[in-house]
Amino acid sequence: MKDENWWLVADIGGTNARFWGVTPGSIEPVWQGYYLVNEYPEFADVLTHALQDVAVALDANVSPQKVCFAVACPTVLDRFVFTNSHWNFTIEEVIEKTGCSLVSVINDFGSVARAVPKLKVPDLTPVGDGQISSKHPKVVLGAGTGLGVAGLVPSVTGFSVIESEGGHADYAPVGDLQVEVKRKLRSQFKRVCIERVLSGPGLINVSNALAAIKHQPPRFTTPAEIVAAALSDQDELALEVLDFFCDVAGAVAGNLALTFGAKGGVYIVGGVIPRFSDYFLRSGFRSAFEDKGRFRDYLANIPVFLVQRQDLGLIGAVTYLSEEV
């Protein structure tokens, strides 16, 4: 690929930074580099490493023609400061580092949303019933290190993306147990947003709150421990955590479906739920999704899909550059 035009895209969250090198006109990578956020003190450090790796892999000593980074933070400020990590950067710093003047920075879930229309049937597992309406909006919801939310609204050219910080909306508990858990979390965080529950760290928060309600000490230190204990050991507390998580996810997804009028479907993505996808599909998610009183029938007709394909943020970043005027 020496001396050919190429693009650099990345999907950068609180835990992982994933980079692709792609050729213009293609959505598939010719190089992939995955890095752990906590291993690099500064964003410039990981970008330097990625540029070195792609130069070796592609024998490309030229700067990328275009750059697009999908980031897990607000994109309206001059400096991009990550919500769930220690990194920050500016577009000017990326231009200096990459040698590319055409640098775009988009919201990570806005990027994920751009990839959703490109998904195929094998990429999607239905969660309950419902039929897609091509004339109505879609919602994308995903739990990882944080909680991402985005919308897709039909337009004359396909879909327009609505970027959001919906994961930081207030958590509205349903039922006595959720109210009690929120009370415990408020004593720790003061304000409890949805992300405090629906995320990898949220699994720990819920676990600690449920243990406290039972007058037990905290038992788990990582989300992986909770999932393993639930699926392998049938641990009672761990199972309660997953049930709680799935119920809240259903209620939140139902709220978003009502807010967006998402008859085009609700798409569940992110790194948390795939760790217990079979359990999720059998859980109370769909019941909680439809449990909206007078609007139960409205929601019963909205399809929900668990997305099986990975790297949606990267696909969306490539899509953004391809559609950029």
Task: Give me the residue spans of the domains in the chain.
Answer: 7-113+312-323, 166-307
pLDDT at residue 76, as a whole number: 82
For helices 312-323 and 108-115, give the axis angle rounded to 10 degrees: 80
C-alpha distance from residue 1 to each of 54, 58, 154, 263 (Å):
11, 6, 37, 44
C-alpha distance from residue 117 to each of 9, 152, 262 (Å):
19, 9, 14
Domains 7-113+312-323 and 166-307 share a fold: no
pLDDT at residue 60, as a whole number: 66
Contact criterion met (CB below 8 Å) for 244 and 182 = no
For helices 43-58 and 91-98, give the axis angle rounded to 10 degrees: 30
CA distance 32 to 50: 9
Q: Write down the pTM of the prediction.
A: 0.87
User: In the structure encoding, which two tokens stand for residue 3, read together?
Assistant: 């001396």
pLDDT at residue 208, as a whole number: 98
Strands 304-307 and 266-269: parallel
> What CATH number should be reported for the domain whose range is 166-307?
3.40.367.20
For 7-113+312-323, the fitting CATH number among 3.40.190.10, 3.40.630.30, 3.30.70.3040, 3.30.420.40 is: 3.30.420.40
Q: What are phi and psi of 305, to 5 degrees?
A: -130, 135
CA–CA–CA angle 88, 91, 97 (5° rounding) = 90
- How do the pLDDT tens digits run along the chain, 325 residues long? 554 789 999 999 888 999 999 999 888 899 999 999 999 999 999 999 999 999 998 876 789 999 999 998 888 888 999 988 999 999 999 999 999 999 999 988 889 999 999 899 999 999 999 999 999 999 999 999 899 999 999 988 889 999 888 999 999 999 999 999 999 999 999 999 999 999 999 999 999 999 999 999 999 999 999 999 999 989 999 999 999 999 999 999 999 999 999 999 999 998 899 999 999 999 999 999 999 999 999 999 999 999 998 899 999 999 999 987 4
